[in-house]
Amino acid sequence: MGRIDYLVVGLGNPGAKYILTRHNAGFLVLDHLAQLYKVRLKQKEKKFTGGVIQEGDYQILIAKPLTYMNLSGEAVKILLERYHLPLDRVIIISDDVALPFGSIKLKPKGSSGGHRGLASIIAQTGKALPRVRVGIGAPPIGVEMTEYVLGKFSTEEEKLLPEITLRAARAIMTWVEEGTEKAMSVYNGLVPSLRIEKKQR
């Protein structure tokens, strides 16, 4: 695959039954990135599938772990060791129940926040990993967390997914080209259509 300058990892669970589940928000963003740059994701080995975006002077590897969410760190560790990347050249995309649906939050580092995929990665790398958190909202009262995150987005939520995943994809490319601070200042918060809806209430 040659030189890699950045690594972008979207978290999720492999398999058709998980495609539009909330826990697969990271996979959905990665799919949008691949579509934008006409990159075909191919299975490189047992633990991940990926492809390379060529943007200017940069070679950006985008990858999906195939380990299932709770073992995501195994795939990330392989990629870090293979390409000898410092942690500030890696960004992880994950769902987040602590953020409202439709919001995006870039952070240069932090804890797992109870997210098992992030916890698996942090156990292998430490906390100094940039991440893009995609808000999926908290579960309704009476709904268990596992049931909620493994459940599919509602019809109304699905309609907004293209806008959300596009915004997250743009945030990632801004992070690569202009740095974390710039990406955070431009993209952190709700997607525009939800901000408008909130103002109209």
Could you tell me if 101 and 55 are in contact, meaning their C-beta atoms sit under 8 angstroms apart? no
146, two tokens: 């596992």
Phi, psi for residue 154 in degrees, rounded to 5: -70, 165
- Mean local confidence (pLDDT), 82-96: 93
pLDDT at residue 193 in the model: 85
* Global confidence as pTM: 0.94
What's the mean per-residue pLDDT of the chain? 92
Give tens-digit pLDDT for 50-71.
999 998 899 999 999 999 999 9
User: Most confidently modeled of 66-80, 120-134, 159-173?
Assistant: 159-173
Helix H or strand E segment including 186: helix 180-187
Could you tell me if 118 and 11 are in contact, meaning their C-beta atoms sit under 8 angstroms apart? yes
Supply the residues annotated as catalytic: 23
In terms of phi and psi (left: phi > 0; alpha: psi -120 to 50; beta: otherwise), the region of 106 is: beta
Q: How far is CA 74 from CA 71, 113, 117, in A?
A: 6, 19, 10
In terms of phi and psi (left: phi > 0; alpha: psi -120 to 50; beta: otherwise), the region of 190 is: beta
pLDDT at residue 201 in the model: 54
- Beta bridge pairs of residue 23: none
Mind listing the domains of the chain with CATH numbers?
6-200 (3.40.50.1470)
Detail the DSSP E strand segments found in 38-84: 42-45, 48-55, 58-65
Give the span between the Cα atoms of 112 and 119, in whole angstroms.
Answer: 5
pLDDT band at 199 (very low <50, low <70, confident <90, very high): low
Give tens-digit pLDDT for 97-151.
999 999 999 999 888 888 898 999 999 887 778 999 999 999 999 999 999 999 9
Could you tell me if 12 and 23 are in contact, meaning their C-beta atoms sit under 8 angstroms apart? yes
